[in-house]
Amino acid sequence: GFVITATGCALFYPAAHFGSYGFFLGALFILASGIVCLQTAGNPFVTLLSKGKEARNLVLVQAFNSLGTTLGPIFGSLLIFSTTKTSDNLSLIDKLADAKSVQMPYLGLAVFSLILALVMYLLKLPDVEKEMPKETTQKSLFSHKHFVFGALGIFFYVGGEVAIGSFLVLSFEKLLNLDAQTSAHYLVYYWGGAMVGRFLGSALMNKIAPNKYLAFNALSSIILIALAILIGGKIALFALTFVGFFNSIMFPTIFSLATLNLGHLTSKASGVISMAIVGGALIPPIQGAVTDMLTATESNLLYAYGVPLLCYFYILFFALKGYKQEENS
């Protein structure tokens, strides 16, 4: 995973040199593939080490993921945009120079990823499949209903989370007449809330059952989105932004509940769940289509948030019933 990630980062250097969109896209695809490999391998390893505290430990690990998501754009803007020009009338030479501003930051990330790959190789970590019990050998992965429901839960969770994050800035610009920069600040709070919620959640899960915590957060998100749709105005601004806080523990908690007691199938389950994040690519266009229809009829654009609202209803179902395992599983 780290080697693939390093390769993707390194390819940004020639992509910037040639100024090729296709080259950038290919590099980004390889980079994303490496990150998916890390998720697929890393999450089951955390569950292997947790011994009954899978959800809590995954929430803590994902908290550092959110920390990177929050701080990454800040450092990225300092490293990249400090050397770029912002005029709309840039010459071709200036545009190529701006593209090359990403070369050294991504080259540094490539080197850092290779160092981490070497560290992981030298540590000689145990094989997850060999360490997991084999009691599920007679059953296929998709015969475990709690896993199937959980994979769908990840699909709808990522879809709902990305849909809200993708349309926050547009919504605030259209409905509250805020400029793009001010609206973007609330987007930082949205993603930053997930980081705060995960650090807090890792502590609270010592006392609260994971499915109950998940149900509470899903219900809270439903209430906040409903308030935004029904009331509008600044209430909608704060309500939708605060959904980010309740998103915090959803991914790691759904993952841990969906992969519980899968034994040696856990690694395969992790791979399927990693593919389920495609919901983040499929749900937002649906909300976009609804937004276009509402715009054409001059209706309230906030009604489009009914799309992610349905996603959180499914998560609530999983937290209350879908997570339960069959007695013979």
* 22-to-18, 19, 92, 117 alpha-carbon distances in Å: 10, 9, 18, 27
Asked if the structure places residue 329 within a domain, the reply is no
Whole-number pLDDT of residue 23: 83
Residue 290 lies in a domain: yes
pLDDT value of position 283: 96
More confident residue, 295 or 277: 277
Q: Is residue 328 part of a domain?
A: no
pLDDT of residue 227: 95
Indicate the pTM of the whole model: 0.78
Residue 299 lies in a domain: yes
pLDDT digits (tens, 9 = 90+) for 224-267: 999 999 998 888 888 999 999 999 899 989 998 998 888 788 88
- Between helix 306-317 and helix 279-296 the angle, nearest 10°, is 140
Chain mean pLDDT for the chain? 82
In a domain, 58, yes or no: yes
Tell me whether residue 316 is in a domain: yes
* CATH code of 78's domain: 1.20.1250.20
Residue 29 has pLDDT above 80, yes or no: yes
- Give the residue numbers spanning the domain of 176: 2-322
Between 128 and 124, the higher pLDDT residue: 124
Nearest to 167 by CA among 192, 184, 150: 184
DSSP label at residue 319: I
**CA neighbor of 247 nearest in space, from 229, 207, 220:** 220
Residue 295 lies in a domain: yes
Residue 138 above 70 pLDDT? no
Q: Is the pLDDT of residue 94 over 60?
A: no
Whether 140 maps to a domain, the answer reads yes
Q: Looking at the 3D structure of the chain, how many domains does it have?
A: 1
- With cut-offs at 50, 70 and 90, classify the pLDDT of residue 311: very high
Q: Which of 23-27, 38-42, 153-157, 181-185 has the highest mean pLDDT?
A: 153-157
